[in-house]
Structure formats: C-alpha cells, structure tokens
Amino acid sequence: MKAACVSLALAISVMSVSCSVNAAAPEDDGMTSPTFTIHLYPQGQDVDMGIVEDGVTVTLGPGDSNQIDTTEFFWDADGSLNNVSDSARVEIYLPERRNGQMIVVCPGGGYAELTYRGEGLYAARELTRRGYSVAVLCYRMPAGHHIIPLTDVQNAFRYCRRHAAEWGIHKIGVLGGSAGGHLAASASTLYVDDITRPDYTVLFYPAISSTDGMSTSTARRLTAGDPELLEHYSLEKRVTSDTPPAILFHSLNDKTTDPEHSMRYCRALRAAGVHAELYCFPVGGHGWAFTTMETAGKDKLGEYRAVSSELLYRFLESQKDWED
C-alpha cells in the first residue's frame, strides 16, 4: 500500500480540511465499566508464571519485578493510577454490538504513573460506543527494569488473541498517548511473533525518540539514561517493512513531547513502505486524546475535535479486511 505521511505544511492547515468520510454515528453512550478484568500474573510479579487455561499456557510470566511494594491507588485529582505491580491487568470492554475490532489501550503517564482516566477510561467509553472492543492495559512502571512495560503489553496481546474468536474479534490494534504512545509503538516494532504483533497502531503525541537531542523524561525513566537502551528504544530506528500501519496525532504547541517525535516515526514508516498518516493541529498541547467536552467538560483540541475524530475512525474503518 502506498504510504501517506501528511506534510507539516498540510498539517498546520488541517482545520481547513473537510473530511469527506463520515464516521459512523455512535450507537449509545459507551461503556463506563469493564465487562471483566484479567490479571496478567495471578500469582504476582515475583512468580514467573502467567495465565494458564485448561492446561495451556496463554501468557508468559512477568519476568522482572519492578520491586514496587506500596499499595496501588487511584488519585482522583488528576485521574492517575499509581503503583501497579502484582495487579498488572487488562480491563476488557465488550460492547453488545461489536464491529470485529479490538484495541489494546495503553494510557500514558511518563512511565511514572498511568493517566488512567483520561487515556484509559475515556478511551474505552468513546471507542465502545462505536462498536470497538477495548482492552485497557494497566501496566507496571519500569522502575529501573526497562523490559517490564513491553512484557505487559505483549502478554495482553497473547491473552486477547487467545480469546479473539470467542469475542468475535478479527483484528487487534494498539493505541497509546505520550508514554503510552511509546509503549504502543514499542509493541509495534519490538514484537516477537504474529501473536504479539498489533494489526495497526494509533498514536497520540507519542514519545518516540531518545537520541539526537530528543530524549525525554519518559525515555530516561524507562532506560535510566543507559546509552544502549536509549538507542534501542528510539523506535523510529526499529521500523521495518513489517511494522503495522499507523495513524499519528500531535499538536504543534505541545510543550511536553515535541511533534518531531511523531514526524520521525512517520518518516521511518514511509521509508519502509508502510502506510502512515500524521496529523498535527495548531492547538491542543498535550494530553487531549479522549478528554472532550462530553467526557470532562473541557477540550483543549476545541474546534479541531471533529476533524480528529473523522480522521481516526476513517483510519480504523480502513483496517477492516474481512467479510462479515
């Protein structure tokens, strides 16, 4: 498929773009609580064992422990989930009317916490109202163990692939914002087999690169500043022709994660012959993915929200390649 990477000049004027493809109208108000929750490590992160069903090993064990032994808590003031350790889990949302796609959602939080409400709960509500099944990943913070977040997202894919037919799922993509965008892109470039490879990638203001002056606090928390790890997790350098197609969104006034992160990933996908779309908006800053007037009473993206939604759902619809 011919790659399509929106140039910066076009992206700046995206407000004037009128999307001709209308996203399907939401069926309802979306789900506000999961259908069920699956703990990835039933015996905790100090026992290297995953999920076993009917004698079959479904997921791998936790590998490293992040050594966090303080109580997990949700901070209502900012909607963050903190200290995930033994309780690493996927919260599964299965809407009544499903469209055949599932999205593994990776909340951001700089690899220090999870932006659980804004990029987890709000994402699940918005996507399920349109028929997408959702798996919100409550992953462990690395805390000096860089492999931990990737281990958790790969195990989430193993579990969801195992049950895809049962749930009526044909494709499973991955979505993330900020550090969750880095994790989603890690899943898309550092997968180990077809089971752990996402079918497509959705990235909001991701932290992609850790080299050439682009290192962020997100990268430093993941790698502890190790030069080899900074290089390894500069994900634009991990792109191949087998990397899943992607759509990326960024704001030009993002002071937390420079838009150049998204541009580098898009350019790498394009150079590899992988379909890629990048849309930059002149406003929004950071952290706006699913925080809308409807969900939170505020929307930093403002009048660009309708355009971003049209573009997102057009891309997701384009990933359907099966007969109902």
User: pLDDT for 66-89, tens place per residue?
Assistant: 999 999 999 999 999 999 999 999
Of all residues in the chain, the percent with pLDDT exceeding 70 is 91
Rounded to 5°, the CA angle 116-250-2 comes to 115
Residue 3 predicted with pLDDT over 50: no
Please list the helix, strand and coil fractions of the chain in percent, rounded to the nearest 5, in that order. 30, 15, 50
Buried b (16+ CB within 10 A) or exposed e, 44-64: ebeeeebbeeeeeebbbbbbb
Tokens 């599964």, residue? 92
> Would you list the DSSP string of 9-42?
HHHHTGGG----SPPPPPSSS--SS-SEEEES-T
**Using one digit for the tens of pLDDT, what is the confidence trace for 141-189?**
999 999 999 999 999 999 999 999 999 999 999 999 999 999 999 999 9
Q: Mind spelling out the 3-state secondary structure of 143-169?
A: CCCCCHHHHHHHHHHHHHHHHHHHHCC
Q: Is 182 helix (H, G, I), strand (E, B) or coil?
A: helix
Q: What tens digit of pLDDT does each residue of 102-153 get?
A: 999 999 999 999 999 999 999 999 999 999 999 999 999 999 999 999 999 9
At residue 127, the 3 state secondary structure works out as: helix
Q: What percent of the chain shows pLDDT beyond 90?
A: 88
Q: Amino acid identity of 90?
A: V
Tell me the pLDDT band of 27, cut-offs 50, 70 and 90: low
More confident residue, 322 or 236: 236
The Cα 274–Cα 268 span in angstroms is: 9
| Domains with residue ranges and CATH for the chain | 8-17+27-318 (3.40.50.1820)
For the chain, give the number of residues: 324
Cα–Cα dist 129/226, whole Å: 42
SS3 116: helix
Residue 123 pairs with which residues in a beta bridge? Answer: none
